[in-house]
């Protein structure tokens, strides 16, 4: 059996090739992908800077390996089980699954433990292609690890798709304030729609505004989603800190993103993290206590409308157009092909691109400009 797959042959260069799939083993699952998410953490590999989320032909992921072309890219498929090995007991052909199980291809052979089951009731929220379990797993782990409590001051730095859905997920916890911080007024409006009680434009004096809102205490929980050192510096400045020589009352910083772009470390950030002594949670789903259980919880939250990912998807490409999607995400280009910029266009949603029949998707806080 053959499949079509995107292979990276050089920095910023992807080719769609046809290759033979290996014979299905007794512990393998063959999945027909209907959509695949394009994650921000794919971009360092695409640009040739590092292989942070590389995958092999079986969907197994590896991190920070040397860049050696050709190589596969991508890790957020959702699809339908086509065939299972003789040892597979909990999956059968026709089941819906997703998770961290392979790159941009129409078919993937993976392991059962990487497959997050999706109930058929998902179709009440829309087509299966709009439910991407891997990012839903990320959001679930962020919320569970940071564990905001009733009366807490919570800040979310970065209001792209991941930030907005995190806000949507924690709005029922009874936080005193959910503070959204972003450089885009449009994204802040979106964050407010999904549960943010206060919005702060990152171009202003964020520290002063946060301490004013929290009555001088700082935030009990800071969720830093931008994946930039500037965002981490802001988190280190606004997190609640403990008294000298005491850990009592210290705040928490959740870091789900990957810092893959070349940036210069700011000594002030290190000072704040050392002397404020916040509890730091690395909330990438790989470090979840139970990745699969976390994914199932995230999918259930999506099916109940708690994490409405389907409402935030604005771009879709076919597999053969994947290069355009990566270029758009990497360059932060806000234009569609052949559509000029116009002053009276505005952003409506946080961006998440995905692909039909193995096209692609993405969840970066880019903006889609659409006519009024």
pLDDT-derived band at 364 (thresholds 50, 70, 90) equals: very low
CA-to-CA distance for 126 and 325, rounded, in angstroms?
A: 23
Pairing relationship of beta strands 198-201 and 177-182 according to DSSP bridges:
parallel
CA-to-CA distance for 71 and 14, rounded, in angstroms?
A: 10
- The architecture that CATH gives domain 2-135+289-312 is Alpha-Beta Complex (3.90)
Q: Between these two residues, 362 and 327, which has the higher pLDDT value? A: 327
The winner for highest mean pLDDT among 74-78, 248-252, 257-261 is 74-78
Segment 184-199 shows an average pLDDT of: 96
- Residue 223 predicted with pLDDT over 50: yes
- Residue 60 predicted with pLDDT over 60: no
Give the pLDDT of residue 361: 40
CA-to-CA distance for 81 and 217, rounded, in angstroms?
A: 51
CA-to-CA distance for 137 and 292, rounded, in angstroms?
A: 8
Q: What is the pLDDT of residues 243-254, one digit of tens each?
A: 655 556 689 999
Cα 287 from chain centre: 15
The domains of the chain are located at 2-135+289-312, 139-286
Asked whether this chain's domains 2-135+289-312 and 139-286 adopt the same fold, the reply is: no
Q: Between these two residues, 64 and 87, which has the higher pLDDT value? A: 87
Q: What is the pLDDT of residues 195-222, one digit of tens each?
A: 999 999 999 999 999 999 999 989 999 9
pLDDT-derived band at 57 (thresholds 50, 70, 90) equals: low
Q: Give the three-class secondary structure for 7.
A: strand
CA-to-CA distance for 313 and 315, rounded, in angstroms?
A: 6
Asked whether 333 and 368 are in contact (CB, 8 A), the reply is: no
Q: What are 258's two structure tokens?
A: 């990957």
CATH topology of domain 139-286: Rossmann fold (3.40.50)
Asked whether 228 and 259 are in contact (CB, 8 A), the reply is: yes
Which range (27-31, 45-49, 231-235) has the least confidence?
A: 45-49
């Amino acid at each position: 059996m053959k499949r079509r797959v995107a292979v990276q042959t050089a920095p910023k260069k992807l080719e769609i090739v046809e290759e033979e799939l290996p014979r299905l083993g007794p512990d393998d699952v063959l999945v027909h992908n209907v959509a695949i998410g394009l994650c921000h953490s794919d971009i360092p590999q695409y640009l040739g800077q590092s292989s942070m989320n590389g995958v092999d032909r079986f969907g197994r992921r590896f991190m920070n390996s040397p860049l050696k072309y050709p190589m596969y890219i991508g890790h957020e498929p959702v699809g339908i089980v086509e065939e299972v090995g003789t040892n597979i007991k909990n999956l059968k052909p026709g089941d819906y699954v997703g998770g961290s199980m392979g790159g941009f291809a129409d078919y993937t052979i993976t392991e059962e433990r990487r497959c997050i089951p999706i109930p058929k009731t998902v179709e009440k929220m829309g087509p299966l292609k709009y439910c991407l379990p891997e990012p839903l797993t990320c959001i679930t782990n962020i919320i569970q690890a940071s564990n905001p409590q009733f009366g807490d001051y919570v800040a979310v730095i970065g209001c792209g798709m991941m930030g907005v859905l995190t806000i949507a997920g924690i709005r029922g916890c009874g936080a005193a304030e959910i503070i959204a911080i972003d450089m885009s007024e449009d994204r802040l409006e979106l964050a407010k729609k999904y549960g943010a009680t206060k919005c702060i434009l990152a171009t202003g004096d964020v520290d002063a505004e946060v301490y004013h809102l929290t009555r001088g205490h700082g935030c009990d929980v800071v969720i830093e989603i931008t994946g930039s050192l500037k965002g981490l510096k802001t988190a280190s400045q606004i997190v609640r800190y403990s008294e000298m020589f005491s850990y009592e009352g210290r705040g928490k910083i959740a870091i789900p993103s990957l810092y893959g772009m070349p940036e210069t470390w700011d000594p002030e950030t290190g000072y704040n993290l050392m002397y404020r002594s916040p509890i730091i949670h690395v909330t990438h789903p790989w470090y979840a206590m139970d990745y699969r259980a976390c994914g199932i919880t995230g999918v259930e939250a999506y099916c109940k409308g708690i994490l409405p990912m389907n409402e935030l998807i604005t771009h879709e490409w076919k597999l053969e157009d994947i290069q355009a999607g990566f270029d758009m995400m990497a360059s932060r280009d806000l234009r569609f092909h052949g559509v000029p910029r116009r002053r009276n266009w505005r952003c409506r949603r946080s961006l998440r691109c995905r692909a039909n029949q193995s096209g692609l998707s993405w969840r970066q806080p880019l903006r889609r400009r659409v006519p009024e």
